A and B are shown apart, each in its own frame.
Chain A
Amino acid sequence: MSGGRLKRLLEALVGRSLLAGLGLSFIAVVVIVALFAPLFAPYDPLEVDLTASKLRPSPEHPFGTDDLGRDIFSRVIYGARISLSVGFLATGLALLIGFSFGLLSGYAGGAVDRAVMSLTDITLAFPSLLLAIGVTIVLPPGIVTVFIALGLVGWASFARIIRGLVLELREKEYVQAARSAGSGGLGVVRRHLIPNCLPTVVVLASLQVGSFMLAEAALSFLGLGVQPPVPTWGGMVNEGRDFLLSAPWFSVFPGMAIALTILSFNVVGDTLRTNISRGGSLGAVTDVRRRREEKEVLA
């Protein structure tokens, strides 16, 4: 990536917002810590030591230890790996499915459109958390299962928005011109539709990462998804639930990690949305729309 482009990207991500700057830096820190977790974690996150059970936060154990004597700080650091990878991979999958279906539906129209849209309607009507839980239980437990489950649940909102966008674009003069000039269907899709959808897709994706991370945490909280003893933030909050009265630090720190990371993604996503829509025409991703598609996965 050339220096100029990087600068433009940064500008779009952060703009002049201090908050977004903080958010982006926090994400960078989390990503680096997750990538090089062994360098940052003071202890092995899986190391059980029953003699060190339920220690309060202290200089040796900044976040304390859990009932098995594992260092919570180290577990939070390793937990970032699961959260981030599920967030990104699930977004990728949902985008892939949603984008393809949306394009197909919007461009082809007719029976294809109706078929795709009824599938979308069914998916959206489904209580999403229950659907995600169902898929998670069906597939063998593990991180792949989690992102597949979330991707399968989350694609429908993308598909709807992309379809709407394509319908709009299809009527645009330059697309009409390209079609009447005899450009093949694929050519139009590639040259005109996809590039024009991209900004929306980027904004959607940036806002979606956080939602998927929350959903992963929710699944882990319910004891599903990535299998223990691999540390996940949601799983740690869940394991600490019974000790809320006697050792609140079990749940408090991992929960803060989730909240701060997702806050960063949301702040950056919001800024991106504002900046991009200022530049181009982007009414599609309003808060109403977003909330409408996000539904109760997180309730």
Chain B
Amino acid sequence: MSRYVVHKLLLIIPTLIGVTVITFLLLKAIPGDPVYGMVGPRASPEVIEAMRKDLGLDRGIVVQYCRYLRLLLKGDLGNSYYTGYPVGKSIIEKFPNTLKLAAAAMLFAVTLGIVMGILASLNEGGVIDRAVTVVSASCISTPVFWFGLILILVFATYLKRLPPAGMGNGSIAYLILPAVTLGTRSAAYIARVTRSSMLEVLGEPYIRTARAKGLGEAKVVLKHALKCALIPIITLIGVDFGSYLNGAVLTETIFGWDGLGRFAINGIFKRDYPVVLGTVLFGSLMFILANLIVDFIYRWVNPRVRL
């Protein structure tokens, strides 16, 4: 097991290097020189050249890449072209916001998803089951950005119950709509998986035994069946959480949430290369780590499972 862990952890390094190479190539292929975005409406060609030199953009792509790697080895992600602010510092500042949103979204998704899943499985083929099926399919099919806008329209504009966007002063009210928007898809998947694994487990002989022993239905379902059914759900939670940690671009854009996703996409639009490289690298690392943790939990819970 520990050899497996070490092996997997070592594999992260080449993957991340691959990620930086692809990002770098993409950035260089993207039309639009960052310097043009930075100079005002009046700038002489000499000034443009001077600024390009200042940023090191006048060198060849291999030189630029090597420079970036050297910087990385020193643990530095470079500075934003526009603000001159260290990218690493920005990531550290924005990550808590992303984490907060991801955690709230997951909390919502897990609660709603598991409840819906259990209700559906207990009512296989019935009205509740069918309702859950339809609702979860709808949630999976609805575009996040549109759903977010509709939520704002209903809860902020018409009902005036919740703030429309922004992060306010850190109060919970501001967190609700973005978390619901982000978490709905996960909730739907969790509901589906809960339902199917519950159905599988409820058909097992030991559940029948438990029932025959005269245990209460609630106890049977919650204590015995759900326990086992939870394993695939944990996988799902881990994976979703990991992907939310590298920034929910659409949700953060709509709600003006100051997280990594918005940071990254603004970086792309402004051609702020260090910002894009830094956030992509960080995001990839988060995703890989979350997946590894899921792998480890899975193996540890059931060593015979081969992923």
Contact B140 A296, beta carbon cutoff 8 Å: no
Q: Known contacts A118-B18, A263-B137: does B268 contact A137 (CB below 8 Å)? A: yes
Nearest B residue to A128 via CB reads B243
A252 to B138, CA, bound (A): 16
A32: interface (CB < 8 Å): no
User: Are B22 and A126 in touch, CB under 8 angstroms?
Assistant: yes
Task: Say which residue of B31, B152, B153, B287 sits within 8 Å of A125 (CB atoms).
Answer: B287
Q: Give the contacting residue for A296; candidates B15, B149, B243, B288; CB below 8 A.
A: B243
Given known contacts A118-B18, A291-B240, A263 and B138 CB-to-CB distance under 8 angstroms: yes
CB distance from A299 to the nearest CB of B (A): 4
- The interface residues of chain B lying within 8 Å CB-to-CB of A245 are 157
Chain A residues whose C-beta falls within 8 Å of the C-beta of B29 in the assembled complex: 138
Chain B: CB-nearest residue to A298: B144
Q: Are A134 and B141 in contact (CB under 8 A)?
A: no
A34: Cβ under 8 A from any B Cβ: no
Q: Provided the pairs A125-B284, A259-B142, A259-B143 are in contact, do residues A299 and B243 lie with their beta carbons within 8 angstroms? A: yes
Given A118-B15, A251-B149, answer yes or no on A137-B250 (Cβ-Cβ < 8 Å): no
Chain A residues with Cβ below 8 Å from B280 are 126-127, 130
**Total count of chain B residues near the partner, CB < 8 A:** 61
- A2-30 CB mask vs B (1 if < 8 Å, else 0) is 00000000000000000100000000000
Residue in B16, B18, B27, B144 whose CB lies within 8 Å of A299: B144
Is the contact region of chain B dominated by helix, strand, or loop, or is it mixed? helix
A19, A221, A270, A298: the one contacting B185 at CB < 8 Å is A298
CA–CA, A127 to B152, complex, Å? Answer: 26
Contact A234 B144 (CB under 8 A): no
Contacts of B141 in A (CB 8 A): 210, 214, 259-260, 262-263, 265-266
Cα A134 to Cα B24 with chains together (Å): 11
Chain A interface main SS type: helix
Nearest Cβ on chain B to A40's Cβ, whole angstroms: 23
A217, B22: Cβ atoms under 8 Å?
no
Residues of B within 8 A of A287 (CB): 189, 192-193, 196, 236
- Interface positions, chain A 210-264, Cβ under 8 Å from B, are 210, 214, 217-218, 221-222, 234, 237-238, 241, 244-245, 248, 251-252, 255, 258-260, 262-263
Q: Residue-by-residue, is A110-153 near B (CB-CB < 8 Å gives 1, otherwise 0)? A: 00000000110110111101110111011000000000000000
Q: Please, could you name 22 A-B residue pairs with CB atoms under 8 Å apart, sorted by A? A: A119-B18, A121-B11, A122-B22, A125-B15, A125-B284, A126-B19, A126-B284, A127-B283, A130-B279, A130-B283, A131-B22, A138-B26, A221-B250, A237-B146, A255-B150, A258-B146, A262-B142, A262-B143, A263-B138, A287-B196, A295-B239, A299-B248
Interface, chain A (partner B; CB < 8 A) = 19, 118-119, 121-122, 124-127, 129-131, 133-135, 137-138, 210, 214, 217-218, 221-222, 234, 237-238, 241, 244-245, 248, 251-252, 255, 258-260, 262-263, 265-267, 270, 286-288, 291-292, 295-296, 298-299
